[in-house]
Structure 1
Amino acid sequence: MKKSVPLLSVVVIACISLSFALLALSSFTGVDAGLVKILGFYQFNKEADLPLVRQLSSILFGLLALLPWLTLRYGSLKKLLALLLLLCAIPPLVSLTGSIHWIESLGGFPAIGSGQGIIKYAALLALAWYFWRPESKVQHWVQYAPVALVLVWIGGMKFTQIEAEGIVDLVQSSPLMSWLYLLFDLQTTSNLIGIYDLLALLLLGAGLQYRWLFLPGWLMCLAVFLTTQSFLLSFPGAFSANGLLTASGQFLIKDLWFIASMLLLLNWYFTADFTAKRQQQISQS
């Protein structure tokens, strides 16, 4: 009898595959958000090396769009998928150690500029860990780590004027958030978003220890990433005229990786809860 595949695994893989499929198509057509700066960090000749690196990136993204589905049938491919996710994530993340992604007018590190799209690659490290060691006892902390990194860093930037002004087009275009500007000025709106991000993160982190806090924190964090995905539909600059992702769209689509991590956290919550109850039943019998 053919073994059934849990729905959650399918949704996690769909998030990963869809994001990389769209990244591959847009990269192939010449959209490469952050690639020039990353090449600059590694001191490549940008003009000569950019076309080749863009093609290699498109191939890697294409493989990462296809391979997750193959792991459903061939479990032995999971470790290959994990290695490719690491290959995709590590070079951009290492470039954060340079000064190219920091805002000098705000003092440099930790005031992050173009690196806001780069730190999202941290989610791939957690997903690589999942495919390499799915039964790890620290899986929930591994998946929580990139969520914490992004919400602390990008959420913290919301308290700066440059970030408050930078999100105006996204917020104004969103039917979910544009009403905030009717009640508050730009900076107050940005501050409130930052406060929400940090509060959601604290609740989720506490929920990993105190289970009654988990679902409120999880729902609040998930709402952050789902709202970001809604910008793909509401923000006119997310897609180009030919229907492929722009640089802004590439930045937004990466939140699908965090949605995948959030689903894995939910799976941990219910699995751990079931295991605890089962052990309690056994001890009482």
Structure 2
Amino acid sequence: MSYAQTKNSVTLLLTFSFAVLGITFLLGANPRALTATFGFYELTDMLSASTLSVLAGVGMLSVTITTLAARIGVLPAIVPVSITLITVAVPLLTLLSPTRWMADLGGFPIIGSGQGIIKYFAVLPLVAFLFFKDKFTAKQHTFMNYASVAMVLFWIGGMKFYEFEANGIVGLVETSPFMSWLYDVFTVQQASNVIGGFDILFAILLGIGIFIRNKPLLVISGLACLSVFVMTQTFMFSVPGTFNGDTLVNGLGHFVIKDLWFIANLIIVAHYTLSNDSAYQAKL
């Protein structure tokens, strides 16, 4: 995939996901997430729920609009970069709140509601690729995007070995036409262990493939990691109630659509590691 094709793919995934998030927030979706986020800044007592929804929605949509505008040369890159960093920083800083961690299980790194928050880290290397490509080497772009993928697969994958997480994904797995068979073969906990083990194993193998520059390993592990994030998108259609006429998607929809960012991360990794362009390979 050429640089132009990669850039267009990343732009599409980034802007589409933020557009969906923005529209659904404007429609009043996921009020619990808004309360948890803006409550950290003590804004929930100052502003109404509808106002908070508008703030979140406008912020998300601004990322989409300014990114597209910058891509066609209407705005300087600093505008979407600044807006995106602010929009991403707002939820990420709430990781400092003890409410994001499960104190009864020891707190950090046992994450609770912050599972959806850590996904915002994936946006940072995407912005770097779109607007600061020449500020970083091919190796640095590869590492940053791999790190985002590895972080979420290690972290959320590791949670699968805990009973609370195993029980928490039952509604996703049992309704999935691709994964429900796991419960015919394994117990709830065993199935969760298999899923978590898959996530962690192929995140490790992808890192090894990048380090030793082994294309077959890169392809196999990259596709395996990609399958994780593609699979989560199917939950939008298999889990009842994810789509609705009032807010477009619900909280689950918000959670899984962020995985489009990791697909974009993997596209960038593939661009730099699997390209036949000798210049890319020399830089790695």
Note the C-alpha offset of 1:43: 2.3
CA contact (8 A) 1:41 1:100 kept: no
Q: Please give the per-residue CA displacement for 1:33-52, whole angstroms capped at 9, x wherever unaligned.
A: 52211222222234635433
Deviates more, 1:103-112 or 1:186-195: 103-112
Partner of 2:84: 85
Partner of 2:173: 171
Q: 1:277 to 1:65 in 2, by over 3 A?
A: closer
Q: Please give the per-residue CA displacement for 1:241-267, whole angstroms capped at 9, x wherever unaligned.
A: 346010111011110111111111111
Partner of 2:263: 259
Partner of 2:104: 105
Note the C-alpha offset of 1:237: 2.9
Note the C-alpha offset of 1:167: 0.3
Q: Using the alignment, how far apart are the partners of 1:54 and 1:209 within structure 2? A: 43
RMSD over aligned Cα atoms: 2.2
Partner of 2:20: 22
CA contact (8 A) 2:122 2:262 kept: yes
| Matching residue's letter, 2:12 | A
| Matching residue's letter, 2:126 | L
Structure 2 unaligned segments of length 5 or more: list them. Answer: none
Q: Please give the per-residue CA displacement for 1:28-83, whole angstroms capped at 9, x wherever unaligned.
A: 01113522112222222346354333212211211222233333321863332222
State the TM-score, normalized to the length of structure 1: 0.89
Partner of 1:232: 236
CA contact (8 A) 1:117 1:251 kept: yes
Q: Using the alignment, how far apart are the partners of 1:87 and 1:18 within structure 2? A: 18
1:140 and 2:159 aligned: no
Paired-residue identity, %: 36
Kindly report which structure 2 residues correspond to 1:48-87, keeping only aligned pairs within 5 A, or say none. 48-74=47-73, 77-87=76-86
1:244 and 2:242 aligned: no
Kindly report which structure 2 residues correspond to 1:93-132, keeping only aligned pairs within 5 A, or say none. 93-132=92-131
Partner of 1:157: 159
Pairs aligned (count): 276
Q: Using the alignment, how far apart are the partners of 2:83 and 2:127 within structure 1? A: 8
Q: Please give the per-residue CA displacement for 1:82-139, whole angstroms capped at 9, x wherever unaligned.
A: 2222111112111111201111221222111110111011111222222332131111
Q: Using the alignment, how far apart are the partners of 2:17 and 2:65 within structure 1? A: 11
| Matching residue's letter, 2:51 | L
State the TM-score, normalized to the length of structure 2: 0.90
